[in-house]
């Protein structure tokens, strides 16, 4: 087990022919962390690449796609970033899942599935940890490295609005700005620019919102039909899970998305009164205190029933 940033930096500096893994349905933190670490390792003269992720969306593709390995590349060292457990590694990366040499992550639920592990659950974003490791390796942030770090920190804190944001998050962001990152443009693109499909599906989400427990629990459902009607893809659905919690009086927001294979993806967002991860771990998922998720192998109505049962039980216990 690796318990310090300095040890993680030491291991990386000794490695070469490195492949970096992102998680399923990649967000800005896993993509930004992977891209930044890859560029930093290349500055040390390492052969480093980011494994292709089939689910990468338009929004984050530029952070990892340019760093895909060439045909025939044989990695000798495997790093995962922002992967809470081995199950979060995409199927196309299965050949690496059982041989992760270094885990870098910020999920408290991560019990260390790599040969060595750097898990810092107090960090708002994995990008914060990656930034510390990069600096420990003696590499200065340039604008390209800093862009990935900034995207990771910004997206995992909701543009620095979520309660997980710390003074260190802001210090990391400041370093990125000092390195030449245009924070205003990044945040505009990530948080203010929406496709027509996104607006249309938000309208459907609001019109079908359900409320329980005297309005303290809100449930939103995104059906396959709604996605087909609007043409929305995963890029359009990025960060949509935060909407139910934005409603005044709501303390737990559940956003369920019907998947093409019949399963239902669940995203839970909570206020300071309720632990989202405590809800999701009871249905086989996990995550953070204010943001967690799970995939239920059932239809959406059954998923809603099960999630409400668990949520109301956890809510009653934590707010009693």
Integer Cα distance of 41 and 12 in angstroms: 8
Pairing of strands 77-81, 286-287: unpaired
pLDDT at 319: 52
Structural domains in the chain, CATH included, are 5-192 (3.90.1640.10), 196-316 (3.10.310.30)
**Closest C-alpha to 300, from 259, 247, 252, 272:** 259
Integer Cα distance of 279 and 184 in angstroms: 35
Query: Are the CB atoms for 87 and 94 separated by under 8 Å?
Result: no
- Cα angle 103, 153, 137 (rounded to 5 degrees) comes to 50
Give the neighbor-by-neighbor strand order of the sheet with 264-270. 210-212, 217-222, 252-258, 264-270, 291-296, 286-287
The H or E element spanning position 79 is: strand 77-81
pLDDT < 70 positions in the chain: 1-2, 318-320
pLDDT at 320: 46
Integer Cα distance of 148 and 64 in angstroms: 9
Integer Cα distance of 116 and 55 in angstroms: 27
Query: Are the CB atoms for 234 and 268 separated by under 8 Å?
Result: no
Alpha carbon of residue 256 to chain centroid: 17
pLDDT at 30: 99
- Give one DSSP letter per residue of 204-234, joined into a string: HHHHT-EEETTTTEEEEEE-HHHHHHHT--T
pLDDT digits 0-9 by tens, 290-318: 999 999 999 999 999 999 999 999 988 76
pLDDT at 72: 96
pLDDT at 253: 97
pLDDT at 282: 94
With 0.85 as the threshold, say if the pTM is over it.
Answer: yes
């Amino acid at each position: 087990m690796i318990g310090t940033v300095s040890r993680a930096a030491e291991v990386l500096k000794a490695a070469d022919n490195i492949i970096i893994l992102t998680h399923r349905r990649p967000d800005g933190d896993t993509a930004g962390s992977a891209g930044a670490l890859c560029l930093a390792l290349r500055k040390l003269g390492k052969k480093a690449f980011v494994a292709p992720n089939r689910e990468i969306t338009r929004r984050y593709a530029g952070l990892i796609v340019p760093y895909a390995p060439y045909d025939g590349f044989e990695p000798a060292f495997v790093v995962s970033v922002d992967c809470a457990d081995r199950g979060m590694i995409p199927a196309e990366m299965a050949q690496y899942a059982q041989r992760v040499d270094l885990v870098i992550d910020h999920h408290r639920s991560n019990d260390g599935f790599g040969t060595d592990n750097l898990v810092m659950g107090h960090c708002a974003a994995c990008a914060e940890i990656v930034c510390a490791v990069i600096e420990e390796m003696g590499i200065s942030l340039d604008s390209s490295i800093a862009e990935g770090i900034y995207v990771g920190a910004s997206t995992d804190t909701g543009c620095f609005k979520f309660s997980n944001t710390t003074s260190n998050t802001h210090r990391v962001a400041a370093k990125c700005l000092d390195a030449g990152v245009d924070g205003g443009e990044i945040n505009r693109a990530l948080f203010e620019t929406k496709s027509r499909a996104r607006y249309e599906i938000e309208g459907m989400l609001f019109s079908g919102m359900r409320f329980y427990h005297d309005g303290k629990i809100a449930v939103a459902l995104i059906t396959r039909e709604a996605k087909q009607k609007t043409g929305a893809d995963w890029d359009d659905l990025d960060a949509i899970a935060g909407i139910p919690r934005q409603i005044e009086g709501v303390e737990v927001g559940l956003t369920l998305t019907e998947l093409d294979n019949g399963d239902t993806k669940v995203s839970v967002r909570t206020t300071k009164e309720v632990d989202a991860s405590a809800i999701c771990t009871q249905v086989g998922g996990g995550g953070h205190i204010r943001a967690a998720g799970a995939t239920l192998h059932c239809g959406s109505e059954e998923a809603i029933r099960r999630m409400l049962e668990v949520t109301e039980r956890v809510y009653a216990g934590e707010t009693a």
